[in-house]
Structure 1
């Protein structure tokens, strides 16, 4: 249905030709209200474009607008004669399927929309490929009021995006409980920032061959008042989604530098993880400079760990920021290498000092020829580029021996120590030093 054919003037979104948000919500209220002739079962679809922001950022807003116009045309092609489609946000849409419209019909339309929008768009000489995710809610089964029904469709949409995008999901009551848990965790995270509930634990990394302690990686932990110690995998993704990773990241940097400045061995490096959102901000180098000055930590003792995803999100900004950090004397490390899609040679334009090989390759290095070959290739390429290579997740002496044989320069993992609180760092420094002075057997490191 072409919404403009039945809607009053001013109710149509000029860019897409679909209903504006207010007009669609008014139609949704009418459909749910018996007094207005509604009240019959119907379906509501919430649709969001995948990778639209990337198009806007890389090709410009003019191409982004052309893409929205083309999407509007495809949506109008897909919907039935009695359906209403509207644009309710920047790249967010909703389709009100009139009665009769049950789950089967809604899923069929959702599949059609995903398929249509997933086809390439030819815009201003560019072939643009995006996608769409769709959430489905049914009236009155999922909610009997317009706003709650839209929230149900949105929750199903978020689930579709969380499970890989480019697909559809039907609302289920469990999604409401997950949303509430997410809302509660976000509230708790904000409280954690204000109340100082975070702490850092430190895991050592050692030089292979000599067994010398080279430094520690600072690892974030959250001491929740009810849940106890919470690992970062449980809250960092939400912190990144909500932007809370920025104040948390500032606290981590400041705390790691302050605590490292107090270690008895002034040669030890402290490695701090930097999120993509932090790297994307041009003021990161200035923030690091002021932190070093405030804590008294020498710049060469700080190593910032970034992922290839963060580096490639905005190459221009990332390159400039890394160059500014290197000019300060700070080291740059590429974390979790091998989990993305980039080659090390593609990343050599960045001023890197170290590559950290993901634990997934280390786990099978003593038993799988493929893992050993990958580690050997990364270590060789790293060496040719003047980079140190650190293997993560080392747990056994056999893995350690293979890593050394395959050319890695450093290692980190439970074989040497689990992450320890700041109060136990000095004892760990002394223990590793004592191990080096004892018998040369590397297994003694794990004692």
Structure 2
């Protein structure tokens, strides 16, 4: 199955309880970052940095808790002295410092600031007579008013992790990530299932008319012990090249269907599997879905497969395979739908239950105005054929109101909820339901 890339990493790192700072959760930092961005406005770029102090745990074991806190205070003081304006700083873990600050005039990336921070933090520290040296791993991202703060934080954290896993003492930038080599991915993938490195995340979809959670999109994640978290766009080509598509698809169903069965009373909603063209065309996939549905007594309509418009073959066979899926109780969605001939042909061939629009770039200053017009026309076209429309990638309230005004039936995106581990579903569903009711209540947003 073919997932996309949204996700947020855990913000803590390993360490003893006695030396952890009181506030190790990202929520306070995100709130402070949003407030800081509101104060400085949009005229100046705002950088988000995650700084991991390399070998910090080893130093703490030598210093003890009291001196460790003094060391942290020195670190924050040095960073604060470099910021162009007062910076927001929070400890996100025992060795991870989150920083948000305005960049100097004439600067449009954080590399210069990151280098300055690395240099000042690399100077010797003296704590109650102890002298020590620390290097650091820094990840940077640019925070924009028209994107979710959580996304900027995740991007900076991921960039830092890439540096840390290469041995530390370096700088990473989210705008220029380094993808693992294909050869390394193809060598590691065959054992990934056996080693328990793959996992499922869920992201909810809410409906405008009822404010209910109607579905969860299922996303595949790979956490390798050396390569770290590998992005789906990097490892999925390796899955295809190795001929592991059906094997991975079967594993996803083996993980998902028991969860659906166990949580039916809590979350009796639809679950959407992102698929490739080869899976849509393949008889093996259809038969695998039918057997799984029968084995776990899944009600018709609770499983949906979603396929990108641009890889739907314009053939009669496509229509036949889509009909077989519907006959087996599986719903169909088309993603990346827009107002062009390919989308129109795919809708006619597949006759989907749902189409999704990519709303991530709505309202961005650097996007042509016709992008919004095309998406609005796509929404109208789908509705004229009796097909529901979901706007995906909704990250701001302004985007929410735009797609609401078009008559979209539902939304999905960071504004509603970021993806979360599938095994959290029973504990997380009600909180997401409450969030949707608050966000989509009749008459506007909260």
Normalised by the shorter chain, which TM-score bucket?
Answer: 0.5 to 0.7
* Richer in helix (by share): 1
Cα separation, partners in 2 of 1:275 and 1:230, compared to 1, 3 Å = same
Structure 1 position 277 matched with structure 2 position 269: no
Task: Measure the CA separation in 2 of the matches of 1:419 and 1:309.
Answer: 24
Q: Which residue of 1 aligns with 2:266?
A: 265
Task: Tell me what 1:225 maps to.
Answer: 225
SS in 1 for 2:415: coil
Contact 2:197 2:224 in 1 (8 A): yes
Match runs of 1:14-413 below 5 Å: 181-263=181-263, 264-312=265-313, 315-338=315-338, 342-345=342-345, 347-359=347-359, 362=362, 364=364, 369-413=369-413
Q: Give, in whole Å, the separation in 2 of the partners of 1:225 and 1:209.
A: 44
Residue of structure 1 equivalent to 2:94:
none
3-state DSSP of counterpart to 2:194: helix
Q: How far is the alpha carbon of 1:336 from its aligned partner?
A: 1.9
Distance (Å, rounded) in 2 between the aligned partners of 1:372 and 1:366: 12
Task: Verify the 8 A CA contact 1:304 1:333 in the aligned structure 2.
Answer: yes
For 2:348 and 2:283, the matched residues in 1 are separated by: 21
Between the two proteins, the alignment pairs up a number of residues equal to 266
Map of 1:1-16 to 2, 5 A cutoff?
none
TM-score by length of 1: 0.54
Q: Name the SS for the 1:398 alignment partner.
A: helix
Is residue 269–residue 302 contact of structure 2 (8 Å, CA) maintained in 1? Answer: yes
2:307·2:335 contact (CA, 8 Å) conserved in 1?
A: yes
Change (3 A) 1:236 1:438: closer
Deviation track 1:240-271 (CA, whole Å, cap 9, x = no partner) reads: 23322221122223322332222233531100
- Please state whether the residue corresponding to 1:270 is helix, strand or coil: strand
| Structural RMSD (CA) | 2.9
Structure 1 portions without partners, runs of 5+: 1-177
CA distance in 2: counterparts of 1:271 and 1:179, whole angstroms: 27
Partner of 1:414: 414
Change (3 A) 1:246 1:375: same
Higher Cα Rg: structure 1 or 2?
1
Quote how far apart the aligned CAs of 1:390 are. 0.9
Whole-angstrom CA distance in 1 between matches of 2:189 and 2:355: 31
Contact 1:364 1:371 in 2 (8 A): no
Counterparts of 2:220 and 2:375, CA distance in 1: 27
Q: Which runs of 4+ in 1 moved over 6 A?
A: none
Q: Which residue of 1 aligns with 2:425?
A: 425
If the length of structure 2 is used for normalisation, what is the TM-score? 0.54
Q: CA deviation at 1:364?
A: 4.1
Deviation at 1:326, TM superposition (A): 0.3
